[in-house]
Structure 1
Amino acid sequence: MRDARQSEHEEVRIVRGTRTGATITVAVYSTERGPAIGGCRIMSYPSWREGVRDALRLSEAMAMKSALAGLPYGGGKTVAVLPGGGLDTTRRLDLITDIAEVVAGFEGRYIAGPDIGSTPDDMALIHRLAQGNAFCRPEAEGGSGNSSAATARGVVAALIAGFHHRYGVSSIAGSKIGVIGLGHVGHLAAESLAREGARVIVTDIDSSLRADAERNGLEWATTDLLRDELDVLVPAATGGMLTRETASTCRAGLIVGPANNQLADDSVDALLHQRSVTWVPDMLAGAGGIIHAVSREKLGLDAERTNAVVGQIGDKVGQLLAYAQERHVTPLQAAREISSDTDSKVNA
């Protein structure tokens, strides 16, 4: 099996873990700017082929994320497909070791980080077994720790910038914002938006999160947020949420969130643009985590300076949306053009 996207990548390795038999894909899209960086996703898929496709999509997006954020890195991704019944918790160490073996084989051309299903503790093990090629280890072990807070901070900065572009005002106080997905990043972003004075309505497939959300001043959705009349929709769950069907009925004026690969395909970007819905590309809105890791672990910045760099995501969003408007292109087209231009300057 060979996905058409695979030919666009520098290297793709698909292996079965020697300990667990799990299908592990590491996709390196580009190292033109520097070593490829990208998270390690561990989850169930309908088939191992779907896991490979996700790795290919996510690694390409990661290359754009690095370029848009101005980082001296390329893009990559690890996807480990869990068996249908999941993996026994006693085998987790074996799985992370299997992943570390694949990462080590890239000899520094790919550096892993946490993603869905993986943690800073997992990165500590990969760091030890793969010659230091992992970001976001616990701070006690010399890493930058959990990047969720930084990702959420970047999302809020992106949202405020997008709000200013879309509605002409900088304050989101009194606005109606829907957040889909209350994972580590989603709930931090939602609470931050509520502190800014917005009316924040949330939902998650795990309804047990409702009580905690309401205690923190959030409303639990009783309608479909993809069809609700909102000022802003924040996709914070898994990817592919914005399909042609949902995009054609979405009533939010602005969409900005941390979920990777929000668009089911590129045509959704064009459809949202035709309907005058402003979409902020997820590869920029969700860049706070990797900016945090690189700033702390590679650039040696302190917490205050790192937070300032993450906050610059807002400026970058404003510039991207202005670029798209001036050139009459969609936000995704603008992101590709800007990231390609950045890459050409690096290689000049």
Structure 2
Amino acid sequence: MLILEEMQSRGHESLSLLNHAPSGLRAALAVHSTVLGPAIAGVRLREQDEQLAVRGALALSESLTLKTALAGLNYGGGACVLLMPEAGVDDPHAREALFRALGRQLRPLASRVVLTEDIGVTPADIAFVAQETPATLGMNTDTSAVTGYGVYRGMKAAARFALGSESLRGVRVAILGVGAVGRTLAQYLHREGAKLTVADARLEKAEALAGELDGTRAVGCDALLDVPCDIVSPCAYGHSIHSVDVPRLQCRLIAGGEHHPLTRRGEAAVKEAGIVYMPDFAINAAGLIAAATGADMNHAAERVYQIVTRITQVAEQYDKAPHLVARRMAERRIDLIGGLGRV
């Protein structure tokens, strides 16, 4: 009942639980909105329990709705979170079976749901899905690399608003999570001359990246929240910054590639603390734009730069928090286009 109440409060259309014992498929598929078009569902694969998978799918799908709307795409938002099979997916045949089972189960929903890669999933995995359903995106796009570059470009636009300049040379950036997106972001920031501190749930990953990028410091995830910096960039799995930890932050801007790094309570807390928050659905859209439109990395990242610039201009004009402006912009497009009615 609590799940149904959460769906109703967020406006979700549906939640499905998928199961296929032979392949080990266990997944939660959430569709938040199909008002603008079929829901793009990012597919995630990671070790987690069922409750986290369901709640993660609900949160991610809402974020995708806002992201596609803000980016001007004719898609809605969805999410498909896969639980790691007990036998794992190291066997290439087992991995193929898992993703083909997913595609086969979602074939009847091809008019409502389009699958694309997210954390733990590769373009090759989506190619397996595509053998069973035509409703896929991203097989020919390195979405993580494009997303990371887009976050970098969006961060520069946000920094002009929050720090007074879009130059990141000498700016202190603390990156939480150095997977594919966080690593790409760190490389671009290092190239520009930013002063980096990095952290990851697997400390050895952060230490390895710090060894590659001269002058970069690696710390634990919890310690990162206390690091004096100009920008905190969450690039992990979600809800990395808890509302109770906001008073620890010593930054002026939060801008990263992670989906929903803050809860609504956390957003209110950072606003109260005077910290600018550029929301995930505004700044991490480049990979999705590239997958959905065929745009190259530069064009997709430039679109993110323009979106963030527009948000900050409106925020400055009306003296509103950028994350509230971004949400209202997305919701307004959904309302206006949705008001046209279905064909």
TM-score by length of 2: 0.90
- Give the secondary structure class of the aligned counterpart of 1:279: strand
Deviation string 1:153-190 (CA, Å, 9 cap, x unpaired) is 11011110111001211211111111111111111110
Identity %: 27
Choose which of 310, 318, 325 in structure 1 pairs with 2:309: 318
Q: In the TM superposition, what is the alpha-carbon distance from 1:40 to its structure 2 partner? A: 0.3
Bigger shift: 228-237 or 210-219? 210-219
Distance 2:336 2:72 in 1: 11
Choose which of 202, 207, 210 in structure 1 pairs with 2:203: 207
AA paired with 1:214? G
Distance 1:315 1:59 in 2: 24
Change over 3 Å in CA distance of 1:307–1:269 after alignment to 2: same
Match of 1:87 in 2: 88
List aligned pairs for 1:190-205, cutoff 5 A: 190-205=186-201
AA paired with 1:48? E
> In 2, are the aligned partners of 1:176 and 1:198 still within 8 Å (CA)?
yes
> In 1, are the aligned partners of 2:65 and 2:77 still within 8 Å (CA)?
yes
Change over 3 Å in CA distance of 1:280–1:38 after alignment to 2: same
List aligned pairs for 1:1-348, cutoff 5 A: 2-7=3-8, 8-45=11-48, 47-83=49-85, 87-90=88-91, 91-130=94-133, 132-137=134-139, 144-209=140-205, 210-217=207-214, 219-222=216-219, 224-263=223-262, 265-296=263-294, 301=295, 303=296, 307-347=298-338, 348=340
> In 2, are the aligned partners of 1:270 and 1:330 still within 8 Å (CA)?
no
Distance 1:156 1:88 in 2: 32
> In 1, are the aligned partners of 2:198 and 2:219 still within 8 Å (CA)?
no
Alignment gaps of 5+ in structure 2: none
Change over 3 Å in CA distance of 1:196–1:240 after alignment to 2: same
Q: In the TM superposition, what is the alpha-carbon distance from 1:324 to its structure 2 partner? A: 3.3
Q: In the TM superposition, what is the alpha-carbon distance from 1:212 to its structure 2 partner? A: 4.3
AA paired with 1:17? H
- Give the secondary structure class of the aligned counterpart of 1:89: coil
Bigger shift: 243-252 or 117-126? 243-252
> In 2, are the aligned partners of 1:24 and 1:78 still within 8 Å (CA)?
yes
> In 2, are the aligned partners of 1:26 and 1:103 still within 8 Å (CA)?
no
> In 2, are the aligned partners of 1:269 and 1:330 still within 8 Å (CA)?
no
AA paired with 1:319? R
Distance 2:291 2:26 in 1: 27
AA paired with 1:345? L
> In 2, are the aligned partners of 1:3 and 1:53 still within 8 Å (CA)?
no
> In 2, are the aligned partners of 1:190 and 1:218 still within 8 Å (CA)?
no
- Give the secondary structure class of the aligned counterpart of 1:177: strand
Change over 3 Å in CA distance of 1:176–1:118 after alignment to 2: same
Q: In the TM superposition, what is the alpha-carbon distance from 1:195 to its structure 2 partner? A: 0.9
Q: In the TM superposition, what is the alpha-carbon distance from 1:18 to its structure 2 partner? A: 4.1
Deviation string 1:120-141 (CA, Å, 9 cap, x unpaired) is 00000111111x211111xxxx
Q: In the TM superposition, what is the alpha-carbon distance from 1:21 to its structure 2 partner? A: 4.6
- Give the secondary structure class of the aligned counterpart of 1:40: strand
Deviation string 1:276-309 (CA, Å, 9 cap, x unpaired) is 101100111110100111121xxxx5x3xx5224
Match of 1:141 in 2: none
Q: In the TM superposition, what is the alpha-carbon distance from 1:260 to its structure 2 partner? A: 0.8
Q: In the TM superposition, what is the alpha-carbon distance from 1:218 to its structure 2 partner? A: 5.0
Distance 1:102 1:284 in 2: 31
Change over 3 Å in CA distance of 1:290–1:98 after alignment to 2: same
Bigger shift: 183-192 or 18-27? 18-27
Give RMSD over aligned pairs.
1.9
Q: In the TM superposition, what is the alpha-carbon distance from 1:201 to its structure 2 partner? A: 1.7
- Give the secondary structure class of the aligned counterpart of 1:23: strand
Alignment gaps of 5+ in structure 1: 138-143
Change over 3 Å in CA distance of 1:309–1:215 after alignment to 2: closer
Q: In the TM superposition, what is the alpha-carbon distance from 1:237 to its structure 2 partner? A: 1.1
> In 2, are the aligned partners of 1:182 and 1:203 still within 8 Å (CA)?
yes
> In 1, are the aligned partners of 2:38 and 2:76 still within 8 Å (CA)?
yes
TM-score by length of 1: 0.89
> In 1, are the aligned partners of 2:176 and 2:198 still within 8 Å (CA)?
yes
- Give the secondary structure class of the aligned counterpart of 1:268: helix
Match of 1:140 in 2: none
Change over 3 Å in CA distance of 1:63–1:162 after alignment to 2: same
